[in-house]
Structure 1
Amino acid sequence: MKNEKKRGVSFLEGSSLFRDPLFVVFDDPDHSQTENRYIIIGHSSQNRLLIAGYLERAERVRLIWARKTSRRERKPSGR
């Protein structure tokens, strides 16, 4: 609820990124030294390109935040 109010994306929509067959995951070592955190980018169930941060605990995924990608993040690299 807090994430949706702050970033305009519900955790329900954010969690749908894992169903995108073309999602991409990156390590996110900058945001925790005690846990392995990751960033996922993909299309949500509402066909919006989103980015989210998450971690895995006891074989479960815990979504930390989710938001729409910025213009810079949508731009292909190298251009």
Structure 2
Amino acid sequence: MIEFEWDPSKARTNLRRHHVAFREAATVFRDSLAITIFDPHHSQEEDRYITIGASAGGRILMVAHTDRGPPASLLREN
């Protein structure tokens, strides 16, 4: 099972801006049809990825994230 951690302040900001909670965004990783690609434009300091998939809430989301080893870290959602 994948575990996630995120900054609570960033989570509040993203909920206000994008109307998607990080808890919902994390569910795209359970979508068997989700697509994950490397994001070279935002990977200067660490490797970052973009995953597009369906959330448990039925929305198609793009989630930008990094894998720092267990637990995975969710950066932001769009």
TM-score interval (norm. to shorter): 0.7 to 0.9
Distance 1:53 1:44 in 2: 14
Deviations 1:17-38 (A, max 9, x none): 0011110001001012121100
Aligned length: 67
The answer to which structure, 1 or 2, has the higher relative contact order (CA under 8 A, 6+ apart) is 2
SS in 1 for 2:72: strand
Q: Given the alignment, which residue of 29, 52, 67 partners 1:18?
A: 29
**How far does residue 61 in structure 1 lie from its aligned partner after superposition?**
1.4
Distance 1:45 1:66 in 2: 14
Distance 1:27 1:57 in 2: 14
**How far does residue 8 in structure 1 lie from its aligned partner after superposition?**
1.1
Q: Write the mapping of 1:1-79 to structure 2, written as runs, cut at 5 A.
A: 1-67=12-78
Aligned partner of 1:75 in structure 2 is none
**How far does residue 56 in structure 1 lie from its aligned partner after superposition?**
0.6
Distance 2:70 2:48 in 1: 14
SS in 1 for 2:76: strand
Instruction: Give the TM-score of the pair, scaled to structure 1.
Output: 0.79
**How far does residue 44 in structure 1 lie from its aligned partner after superposition?**
0.1
- Higher Cα Rg, which structure: 1
Identity rate of aligned residues, in percent?
A: 36
**How far does residue 60 in structure 1 lie from its aligned partner after superposition?**
2.3
RMSD across aligned C-alpha pairs, in angstroms? Answer: 1.0
